[in-house]
Amino acid sequence: MKDIIQWLKDNGDLKIIDEPLDIELEIPHTAYIEVKKENSRPILFTKPISKSRGIEYDIPVLMNIFANKDITKKIFGKEPDDIASNIAELLKLKPPKGFMDKLSMLPKLISLKNVFPKRLKGKGICQEIIINKDEVDLDKLPILTTWSGDGGPFITMGQVYTQSLDGNMANVGMYRLQQYDKNHLGMHWQIHKDASHFFDQYQKAGKKMPVSIAIGGDPLYIWCGQAPLPYGMFEMMLYGFVRNKKAQLVKSITNDIYIPKDVDIVIEGFVDPSKMEIEGPFGDHTGYYTLKEPYPVMEVETITMRKNPTFVATVVGKPPLEDKYMGWATERIFLPLLQTTAPDLIDYYMPENGVFHNLILGKMKVAYKGHAQQFMHAFWGIGQMSFVKHAIFIGEDSPELENNLEITEYILNRIDKNKILITGGIVDALDHSSPESLVGGKLGVDATGDEVKHGIEEFLSDDELFKRIKSIYNNVCELKQYMTHTKNPITVISIDKDKSQLEVIKLLSSLDKHIKILVIVDSNTNTIDNLYMLLWRVVNNIDARRDIITTPFIAIDGTNKNLLDGYEREWPEDTLCDKDTLDKLQKIGVIDIDEKFIKRFGLL
């Protein structure tokens, strides 16, 4: 992948847009639309411009590298499940008993020599051009502003290389980076990330922390940056394992951080632990804005790049997006590592509209009563799995996990309120629904075993049930029932909120003969016949300890929270496209979408 552009032309059906487009909204909106299509493709924007700065960039912008499953497999060079099998074999490796055993192990052991990165002497391709500190100007890079409400331009696919204070541990993570001015970036490394642990070491020692940010190069570098490896394990080792060749690293010009020799651009500098700046807001992969918070600041010392570099970026917001395919690869490859803690786990699935940390389905072999509950606690205690808010476990007789319709029927036929666990724990820093940051509710559902015996007592049509609910609570706007042939049909209502919906649920308790599962959403932000976006909304918006009750029926309050609910934090806005920008892109023929597409993905 020395020439990623040519490789994408040959292998990824690269879409090339020569129309001059603005780095503010126009380029990211185009990529956002493209990746939601069934046949989504990588895009190269050859003529990025900045109207506000009066700049025509000579660096093209590449987006949607991981545009679909097929190209993701090609980037890895093999099926992710095959990589998982290799990891599983290593985890089961035992000392050889005889000469023949030793011989059979040789290929595996030889391949492991490529795991450890090689530090090269001299400069790399990424250092063909060196821009010194007094000439550094981040404005000369086509750094994108994705959303109208963003706090500024953000680098969205930067590989952030850091090391521990003693230099014994190295890390690469993919964190967003807000551009403040010509030589300062906001470092959004959340409290649970390795880079944040290293930062704590420098802060206690009162020393500046070196940081190097790489952009571009082999797309596998990018994926490794978001891989959930154990603390202290350098992600470039995973690169060597997957590629079966050593990562080739060179030393940064102004610090001791080593970065891949063949990336396109490197931004080097230091973080002063005594200085913090407000970072954000930013329209994130949850589909909501993350709000303003203080984060460390990087002062840029130098920028290096290869000749004719490419600026690589991604767009985040409401699903489905590029992280769908990156997450799919991660899910497949890391299954064996999960199975070391949960050996009866057969498979798992993290739907992209559950934005990964909001929902997980796990298929398991049930050995004894309470086994699923044990799995829930195990998952909530494993690395980044500890941030998962909602976990549903099903038996080995279930359909394929990615068969959404069949698996939903299977689960609904087995939901028993007595097998629901509601507890609390750590949640992702991006979660907005919990009453306080970083700590919130957890939901575990044991849907293993046989179907429940009793279904709904007395079925009513949508119209009749709507009339009954309307007579009790006049602010209900729409109603639709789903999966009415299962033991636990789902009733969705949209409302104009004027009170805590927990009060409304109590008022509706007299309808327990007609309702098994009730889901409540706001009328002004939801379409109740769009199940894909309803799931996205509800798992984003609920804190299990506050918003789920199980008596007299299971009820879920998926509305936006406010003081009516005792919620005192600021509730963020959705990521919504700018209508004028979409209209312009449509007019000049860069995108082609209709009203159905806009509503399907909640663009406006």
Q: Is the dihedral of CA 301, 305, 311, 316 positive or negative?
A: negative
Between CA 362 and CA 451 the distance in angstroms is: 18
Which DSSP symbol is given to 398?
Answer: S
Between CA 172 and CA 195 the distance in angstroms is: 8
Between CA 578 and CA 366 the distance in angstroms is: 49
Q: What is the pLDDT of residue 268?
A: 98
Beta pairing class for 390-395 and 439-447: parallel
3-state helix, strand, coil in the chain (%, to 5): 30, 25, 45
Rounded CA Rg of the chain: 25
Task: Tell me the residue length of the chain.
Answer: 604
Instruction: List, by residue range, all CATH 3.40.1670.10 domains of the chain.
Output: 341-447, 462-565
Query: For 522-566, what is each residue's pLDDT tens digit?
Result: 999 999 999 999 999 999 999 999 999 999 999 999 999 999 999
* Average pLDDT of span 505-530: 96
The token pair at 386 is 């500890």
CATH of domain 4-79+109-313: 2.30.110.10
HSE of 238, CA atoms in CB hemisphere, 13 A: 27
CATH architecture of 341-447: 3-Layer(aba) Sandwich (3.40)
Element at 325 (helix H, strand E):
helix 323-333
Between CA 384 and CA 428 the distance in angstroms is: 9
* Average pLDDT of span 280-286: 94
HSE of 531, CA atoms in CB hemisphere, 13 A: 10
Query: For 73-116, what is each residue's pLDDT tens digit?
Result: 999 999 999 988 888 877 665 565 665 555 555 555 556 778 89
Beta pairing class for 311-313 and 61-63: parallel
Cβ partners under 8 Å of residue 331, min gap 6: 348, 349, 350
154-163, 184-193, 516-525, 526-535: which has the minimum mean pLDDT? 184-193
Q: What is the pLDDT of residue 230?
A: 78
Instruction: List, by residue range, all CATH 2.30.110.10 domains of the chain.
Output: 4-79+109-313
Give the closest residue to 493 by CA, choosing from 99, 511, 357.
511
Burial class (CB in 10 A: 0-12, 13-18, 19+), 594: exposed
Q: Is the dihedral of CA 376, 378, 380, 386 positive or negative?
A: negative
The verdict on whether omega for the bond into residue 320 sits within 30 degrees of 0, i.e. cis, is yes
Between CA 206 and CA 186 the distance in angstroms is: 19
State CA 215 to chain mean position distance.
19
Query: For 287-334, what is each residue's pLDDT tens digit?
Result: 999 989 999 999 999 999 999 999 999 999 999 999 999 999 999 998
Between CA 441 and CA 435 the distance in angstroms is: 9
314-329 core/surface letters (b: 16 or more CB in 10 A; e: else): bbbbbbbbbbbbbbbb
Model confidence at 365, in pLDDT bands (50, 70, 90)?
Answer: very high
- The residue ranges of DSSP E strands in 365-485, in sequence order, are 390-395, 420-426, 439-447, 476-482
Domain 462-565 class, CATH top level: alpha beta
Q: What is the pLDDT of residue 239?
A: 92
Does residue 361 contact residue 354 with C-beta atoms inside 8 Å? no
Between CA 497 and CA 523 the distance in angstroms is: 8
User: In whole numbers, what is the pLDDT of the chain averaged over residues?
Assistant: 92
Q: What is the pLDDT of residue 95?
A: 60
Cβ partners under 8 Å of residue 324, min gap 6: 352
Between CA 416 and CA 38 the distance in angstroms is: 36
End-to-end CA distance of the chain: 38
Report whether pLDDT(384) > 90. no
Q: What is the pLDDT of residue 99?
A: 56
Does residue 228 contact residue 334 with C-beta atoms inside 8 Å? yes
Between CA 577 and CA 260 the distance in angstroms is: 35
Q: What is the pLDDT of residue 439?
A: 93
Burial class (CB in 10 A: 0-12, 13-18, 19+), 458: exposed
Cβ partners under 8 Å of residue 296, min gap 6: 186, 187, 189, 199, 209, 271, 272, 273, 275, 276
Which DSSP symbol is given to 574?
Answer: B
Model confidence at 135, in pLDDT bands (50, 70, 90)?
Answer: very high
Q: What is the pLDDT of residue 177?
A: 97
Give phi and psi for 42, each to the nearest 5.
-65, 150
Query: For 224-238, what is each residue's pLDDT tens digit?
Result: 998 888 778 899 999
Does residue 197 contact residue 144 with C-beta atoms inside 8 Å? no
Between CA 239 and CA 245 the distance in angstroms is: 8
